[in-house]
Structure formats: structure tokens, C-alpha cells
Amino acid sequence: MTITPGDIWIAEIFFTDGSVSKKRPVLILWIDAQDVIVAAVTSAQPRSVTDIALQDWQYSGLRVASVVRLARLDCLEKSLLIARIGHISDVDAQQLLDIWNSNIKPKF
């Protein structure tokens, strides 16, 4: 299975207590050995400056208008990725990079 940053995948996401999981769409941000760092993808409305509505959500393989939540990151084992559904457009990728570069900074 080939995984590329910018891909949208369906992943098995476990709740924090590890008891239950759900299949959810995620955006692959980067790959580190057998792990991937992903951002949550949701159909909920944006609620902060780091929630980015995808302009080309259909091109990305999503069924409904969707938002990438850059403040909701997870580190997942690659084995939790179930199926690739698409890739974000260049326009959406640039918007995500711009928001990341201007708003995601350590606060220590």
C-alpha cells in the first residue's frame, strides 16, 4: 500500500480509552517509519482558525463538504489505515500550508 502526504484515507480511530473505535476520514500530513501523522476530517462546521473547509472536497474523494481540523492531530500505525479515498487538491493543500505556517506554533 502506497501512502502519500496529502492523501485522504479511511482509518480506524480508537477512542482515548482504547475500548471502541470508529472508521473516520483523515488527511495524511507526514509519514515516519511505520507511523503516519494525520489530521481529522469532519463534516462539522469550522469552529476555529485552524479548521479549514476544503474547497475541492469532491475531488478529494469525500462524500460531503468537509473540514480538516489541523488542531486534531493523531499518530497512527499504518496498519490502521483501511482505504485510500483520494488526495487533496493543490488549492486546498496551499490553504492548509498557509494556515499551518501562520497558526500552528508551540506555546512553550
In a domain, 47, yes or no: yes
Q: What is the pLDDT of residue 18?
A: 74
In a domain, 1, yes or no: no
In a domain, 2, yes or no: no
Domain, as residue range, for 74: 7-103
Distance CA 86, CA 89 (A): 9
In a domain, 85, yes or no: yes
| DSSP designation for 49 | T
pTM > 0.85: yes
| DSSP designation for 48 | S
* E-only strand ranges, 15-102: 21-32, 35-42, 51-53, 67-77, 81-87
pLDDT in tens, the chain (108 residues): 799 999 999 999 988 777 798 999 999 999 999 999 999 999 999 999 999 999 999 999 999 999 999 999 999 999 999 999 999 999 999 999 999 999 988 888
In a domain, 42, yes or no: yes
Contact criterion met (CB below 8 Å) for 10 and 25:
yes
Domain count of the fold of the chain: 1
In a domain, 73, yes or no: yes
Residue 12's domain is classified under what CATH number? Answer: 2.30.30.110
Q: What is the pLDDT of residue 3?
A: 97
Q: What is the pLDDT of residue 16?
A: 77
